[in-house]
């Protein structure tokens, strides 16, 4: 090869993070093995941290919750180190800083805070109407409660509320989306990463089986059926928040959507079918789903959120970039 050809190849490798990574690891499968192993170890660290404390108390006991706060917050604080080590092992470089890759940036922050949450609320329009219909308060009374500082003090001193609405959404989205997606994208591409990342998230929730069996909270069959359902639901939800993370380039949207979904829970579809006002409620269920799919792409249009750092990890000219990054 002549000198010009060598210089051209060198410049091309310099501009392409995947080729540079392949050169350091030897081949593309090596990149994927490092990426998958890093994600697996991070998931194990997160789940394993929940069990470093020996206790005979159930998971909802305030003492257990406080100890687990310490564990998951510690793992979450060091989780960016997994990404740094992964970058060092693979040789992948990016023009975007590490925190920007993980969704911590100011560009488009206003849209990223409100639009994904609004989109999720539209999807759950049926359950929201169902809650409103069954709520004993009228709108004014509900507004008064929501604006009462004593209500929020009560929430913030409730360990289960803090876990479900603050700590779990923040730490799980940080670990399973903000840290794992940048490690998966160079290996799998954006589309596959959206569906690969939730598998770690879903499997991580299987640890609930241990506690249910330990405290005999149901038969073995019912516990495993419940775990299978939870895995399916969390995997679908994880794919959705991964999509939001990639399309917006922000962590705040997935965190707020996660917190909202933890509050609403899985839609009570069978209850809605037996409700005295079932026609109205089911109509809103269907309307919400139709509007959600119509608005999914417009409300997550990357043009609303600025430059997407995670798209810098794609191979130049990749067709996977065409619909998710633009």
Active-site residue numbers?
A: 172, 205
R_g of the chain computed on alpha carbons: 22
CA distances from 218 to 57, 204, 222 (A): 17, 21, 6
Q: Angle at the Cα of 186 (from 183 to 188), degrees rounded to 5?
A: 95
* Separation CA 126–CA 122 (nearest Å): 8
Residues 175-203 as b/e (b if ≥16 CB within 10 A, e otherwise) read bbbbbbbbbbbbbbbbeebbebbbbbbbb
For residue 18, give the nearest of 240, 325, 323, 321 by alpha carbon.
321
- Find out whether 278 and 272 touch, Cβ atoms under 8 Å: yes
User: Please, is 28 exposed, middle or buried when counting C-beta atoms within 10 Å of its C-beta (0-12, 13-18, 19+)?
Assistant: middle
| Closest residue by Cα to residue 75 from 223, 179, 186, 231 | 179
Six token digits for residue 314 = 């794609």
Identify the CA nearest to 299 among candidates 127, 109, 169, 114. 114
Q: Comparing C-alpha atoms, which of 291, 289, 285 is closest to residue 273?
A: 285
Q: Which ranges of 91-124 does DSSP label H, i.e. alpha helix? A: 98-101, 109-123
| Gap between the Cα atoms of 164 and 265, Å rounded | 11
């Amino acid at each position: 090869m002549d000198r010009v050809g060598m210089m051209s190849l060198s410049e091309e490798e310099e501009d392409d993070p995947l080729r540079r990574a392949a050169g350091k690891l030897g081949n593309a499968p090596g990149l994927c093995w490092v990426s998958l192993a890093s994600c697996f170890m991070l998931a194990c660290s997160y789940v394993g941290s929940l069990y470093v404390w020996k206790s005979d108390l159930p998971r909802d006991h305030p003492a257990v919750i406080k100890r687990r706060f310490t564990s998951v917050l510690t793992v979450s604080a060091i989780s960016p180190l997994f990404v740094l080590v992964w970058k060092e092992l693979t040789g992948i470089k990016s023009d975007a800083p590490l925190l920007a890759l993980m969704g911590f940036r100011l560009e488009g922050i206003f849209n990223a805070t409100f639009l994904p949450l609004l989109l999720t609320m539209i999807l759950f329009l049926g359950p929201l109407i169902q809650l409103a219909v069954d709520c004993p308060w009228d709108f004014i009374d509900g507004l008064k409660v929501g604006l009462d500082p004593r209500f929020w003090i009560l929430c913030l001193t409730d360990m289960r509320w803090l876990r479900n609405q603050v700590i779990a959404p923040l730490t799980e989205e940080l670990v399973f989306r903000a840290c794992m997606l940048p490690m998966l994208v160079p290996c799998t591409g954006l589309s596959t990463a959206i569906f690969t990342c939730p598998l770690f998230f879903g499997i991580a929730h299987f640890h609930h089986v241990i506690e249910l069996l330990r405290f005999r909270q149901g038969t073995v069959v019912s516990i495993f059926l419940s775990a299978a359902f939870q895995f399916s639901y969390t995997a679908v939800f994880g794919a959705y928040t991964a999509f939001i993370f990639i399309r917006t380039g922000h962590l705040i949207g997935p965190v707020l959507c996660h917190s909202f979904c933890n509050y609403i829970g899985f839609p009570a579809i069978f209850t809605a079918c037996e409700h005295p006002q079932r026609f109205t409620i089911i109509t809103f269920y269907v309307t919400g789903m139709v509007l959600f799919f119509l608005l999914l792409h417009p409300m997550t249009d990357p043009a609303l959120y600025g430059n997407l750092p995670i798209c810098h990890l794609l191979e130049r000219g990749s067709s996977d970039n065409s619909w998710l990054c633009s």
